[in-house]
Structure 1
Amino acid sequence: MYRADGSPIRVLLVDDERALTNLVRMALQYEGWEIDVAHDAAEAVGKYRANTPDVLVLDIMLPDMDGLGVLAQIRDSETYTPTLFLTARDSVGDRVAGLTAGGDDYMTKPFSLEELVARLRGLLRRSAYLTPADDESLTVGDLALDAASREVTRGGVPIALTSTEFELLRFLMRNPRRALSRKEILRRVWNYDFGGRSSIVDLYVSYLRKKVDAGSEPMIHTVRGVGYMLRPSE
């Protein structure tokens, strides 16, 4: 996988565990990607601003500032970079905090290098930066999605989504009133089956609901024993 102009993918890897960063760097260099490493928050922000990467791998627990604070500083610069959080904590609250801060995906330690590469490939495919714009426009009830501008509105009100949330919603909107299984969603949105673990789908659907259905009649519904369905509010 390469950037749109044919040059190598640029990755900024932020973690204070040097043994871990050495292993991850080798795995990602094997993909032909360019890897820059930072071991604390200050170094991460400086390297990000000096050479904006195509994807960010960010540890949540850093010595001088947590990864959520790092991402907040980066987002303040009004640039968007797909971000995968690394965390040693696996509670729902910790994961939701990462998504709320603007993360697109997360992995818990310890993790397999093969899965990390697969996650990053999927994240890059979902990224507007590497995905050619198309003219697809979708409307379900008062919910509208424009693929070219990457804009989503409900009742005319803009909804800010991460790239993963956008692709999840687009898949749901392409299949209105159809019950979609978690396995099918994993395959079509993440392009990876996560070893059959579907909890990531539930987490992202939960967070997407908070944005799409906030203050309105619900459109995203759970289909017991199957998965999820998007249908217009009555």
Structure 2
Amino acid sequence: MTAGGEAMSATVVLVEDDPVIGGHVIDGLRRHGYSASWCRSGREALASLVEADVDVVLLDLGLPDLDGVAILRQLRRLRPELLVIILTARTSDIDVVVGLDAGADDYIPKPFELSVLLARLRAHLRRGARRGSADPAPHQIGGLTVDPVARRCVVGTRELSLRPKEFDLLVALTSRPGSAVSREELMSEVWDENWFGSTKTLDVTIAALRRHLDEAAGGEGVVSVAVPTIRTLRGFGYRLDPPRSS
């Protein structure tokens, strides 16, 4: 990304069955410097994305052949490193949460302006480009170790598989254990300093992190490991509390 905000070199796959929306988005992506291709069905998308060199997937949830959430879950299993932004006309809280919980990094409700989509895409790519500047020192809190450089998260002796935003959020919290961190600060640090719109994606990512930590600390066949707790600070944000000494 240049200082002037021009598009980074990124390969984007749009999964959208609507010919009007699809044509408009593909044309806009290409005009702004992205290498963009278009899949018109879920089956076509899954077949093409298994080994394709892709940075971003823009996924419509309302596809005619396969359920978008089911496609998203398969993509997460096949390509956990992909940045996935869902495009959805399903705007109820439960539908949005289901999409984010299935592994989406963000969502954009339909109808949307192309300028909004492009701005949100630039925000995610800017954040991804800055990952190399992370603190090189691993963060160790109780039985949890987070290595920002190697992008590894270990609970006891068990390594966790986290989505990119889950890992970035955990780095942000473990870098200042015991300190209250506002929602705005986390959105700026983990997503982008110019972020706008809903912060629901933050809440869903926090919930996913809690599940990962709880399962790793006391899952079946695992010796109990002391891990920090992510506390919700109503009206403010979150705090990572170190485990209490026994």
Question: Shorter chain as normaliser: what TM range?
Answer: 0.7 to 0.9
Q: Match for residue 236 of structure 2?
A: 226
Aligned to 1:118: 119
Using the size of structure 1 for normalisation, the TM-score is 0.84
Q: Deviations over 1:107-158 (max 9, x none)?
A: 2222232332232233334548x84486441112222112233221223332
Structure 2 counterpart of 1:86: 87
1:74, 1:180 → 2: CA distance? 32
Opposite residue 196 of structure 2, the aligned amino acid is F
Q: Hey, what does 1:194 align to over in structure 2?
A: 196
Structure with bigger gyration radius = 2
In structure 2, the CA distance between the partners of 1:131 and 1:165, relative to structure 1 (3 Å rule), is same
Residues paired across the two proteins, number: 229
Cα distance, 1:69–1:223 mapped onto 2, change above 3 Å: closer
Q: CA deviation at 1:224?
A: 2.5
Structure 1 residue 53: Cα displacement = 1.2
CA spacing shift, 1:176–1:114, aligned 2, 3 Å: farther
* RMSD of aligned Cα (Å): 2.7
Residue 206, structure 1, aligned to residue 207, structure 2:
yes
- Output the amino acid matched with 2:62: M
Match of 1:173 in 2: 174
Supply the distance in 2 between the matched residues of 1:51 and 1:200 (Cα, whole angstroms).
27
The amino acid across from 2:169 in the alignment is L
Distance in 2 between residues matched to 1:136 and 1:118, nearest whole Å: 32
**How many angstroms does 1:35 deviate by?**
0.6
Aligned partners of 2:208 and 2:74: how far apart in 1?
22
Does the 8 A contact of 2:105 with 2:201 survive in 1? no
| Matches of 2:142 and 2:95, distance apart in 1 | 33
Greater Cα shift, 210-219 or 140-149: 210-219
* Matched letter for residue 219 of structure 1: T
Q: What is the deviation of 1:65?
A: 0.5
Shift of 1:92: 3.6
Contact kept, 8 Å, 1:213 with 1:220, in 2: the verdict is no
Secondary structure class of the residue paired with 2:20: helix
Q: Match for residue 221 of structure 2?
A: none
Distance in 1 (CA, whole Å) between partners of 2:207 and 2:71 is 24
> Which structure 2 segments of 5+ residues have no match?
3-7, 219-225
Q: Which amino acid counterpart does residue 193 of structure 1 have in structure 2? A: W
Asked if the contact 2:142–2:228 (Cα under 8 Å) also holds between the matched residues in 1, the reply is no
- Map of 1:25 onto structure 2: 26
Question: How far is 1:220 from its partner?
Answer: 0.3
Per-residue deviation, 1:193: 2.8
% identical aligned pairs:
36
